[in-house]
A = this chain, B = another copy of it.
Amino acid sequence: MVKRVYNFSPGPAMLPLPALEEAQRDLLALPGVGMSILEISHRSATFKGIIEAAEENLRRLLNIPDDFEVLFMQGGARLQFGMIPMNFLRGKDRPASYVVTGSWSKLACQEAQLVGQVHVAWDGKATNYDRVPSDDQLDIKPQSAYVYICSNETIGGVRFPREPETGGIPLVCDASSELLSRPVDMSRYGILYACAQKNLGPAGVTVVIIRKDFVEACPDDLPSMLSYKKFAAEKSLLNTPPVFAVYMVKLVTDWLIREFGDLKRVADYNEEKANLIYDVIDRCGGFYQVHAAPGSRSTMNIAFRLPTQELEKEFLKQAEARNLYNLQGHRSVGGCRASIYNAMPREGVVALRDFMLEFFEENRHRLA
Stretch at the interface among A30-38, A57-65, A180-188, A261-269: A30-38
In the complex, chain B residues whose CB is within 8 Å of the CB of A350:
none
In the complex, chain B residues whose CB is within 8 Å of the CB of A42:
12, 203
In the complex, chain B residues whose CB is within 8 Å of the CB of A13:
39
A7–B39 contact, CB under 8 A?
Answer: yes
- With A204-B245, A226-B82, A245-B204 as given contacts, are A38 and B15 in contact (CB-CB < 8 Å)? yes
- With A74-B76, A240-B195 as given contacts, are A34 and B5 in contact (CB-CB < 8 Å)? yes
Verify if A43 is at the interface (C-beta below 8 Å from B): yes
Given the complex of chains A and B, what is the CA–CA distance between A28 and B25 in angstroms?
10
What would 4 more interface pairs be, CB under 8 Å, given A7-B34, A81-B223?
A: A4-B35, A34-B325, A79-B223, A79-B226
Residue from the list B21, B223, B242, B248 in contact with A203, Cβ < 8 A:
B242
- With A28-B21, A82-B224 as given contacts, are A34 and B243 in contact (CB-CB < 8 Å)? no
Flag A66-102 by CB within 8 Å of B: 1 or 0 each.
0000000011111101110110000000000000000
- With A9-B41, A243-B204 as given contacts, are A2 and B21 in contact (CB-CB < 8 Å)? no
Which chain A residues numbered 338 to 362 have a C-beta less than 8 Å away from chain B?
none
Residue from the list B11, B38, B197, B226 in contact with A12, Cβ < 8 A:
B38
Verify if A190 is at the interface (C-beta below 8 Å from B): no
- A201 closest partner in B (C-beta): B38
Whole-angstrom distance between the Cβ of A3 and the nearest chain B Cβ: 5
Contacts A/B (CB < 8 Å), 29 sampled: A3-B29, A4-B28, A4-B29, A4-B34, A12-B39, A12-B42, A14-B39, A15-B36, A17-B28, A20-B28, A20-B36, A23-B27, A23-B38, A34-B323, A74-B74, A74-B76, A74-B79, A76-B225, A78-B225, A82-B224, A86-B223, A111-B223, A111-B224, A114-B221, A114-B222, A115-B223, A203-B242, A204-B242, A244-B244
Flag A195-228 by CB within 8 Å of B: 1 or 0 each.
1010001111100000000000000011111100
Q: How many copies does the complex hold?
A: 2
Which chain A residues numbered 317 to 345 have a C-beta less than 8 Å away from chain B?
323, 325-326, 331
Place the interface of chain A in its size category: 35 or more
Whole-angstrom distance between the Cβ of A78 and the nearest chain B Cβ: 4
B4–A204 contact, CB under 8 A?
Answer: no
Given the complex of chains A and B, what is the CA–CA distance between A230 and B367 in angstroms?
43
Given the complex of chains A and B, what is the CA–CA distance between A225 and B74 in angstroms?
11
Verify if A239 is at the interface (C-beta below 8 Å from B): yes
B75–A75 contact, CB under 8 A?
Answer: yes
In the complex, chain B residues whose CB is within 8 Å of the CB of A23:
27, 38
In the complex, chain B residues whose CB is within 8 Å of the CB of A243:
12, 197, 202-204
- A10 closest partner in B (C-beta): B41
Verify if A241 is at the interface (C-beta below 8 Å from B): yes
In the complex, chain B residues whose CB is within 8 Å of the CB of A40:
9, 12
Verify if A24 is at the interface (C-beta below 8 Å from B): yes
Verify if A238 is at the interface (C-beta below 8 Å from B): yes
- With A35-B4, A114-B222 as given contacts, are A27 and B24 in contact (CB-CB < 8 Å)? yes
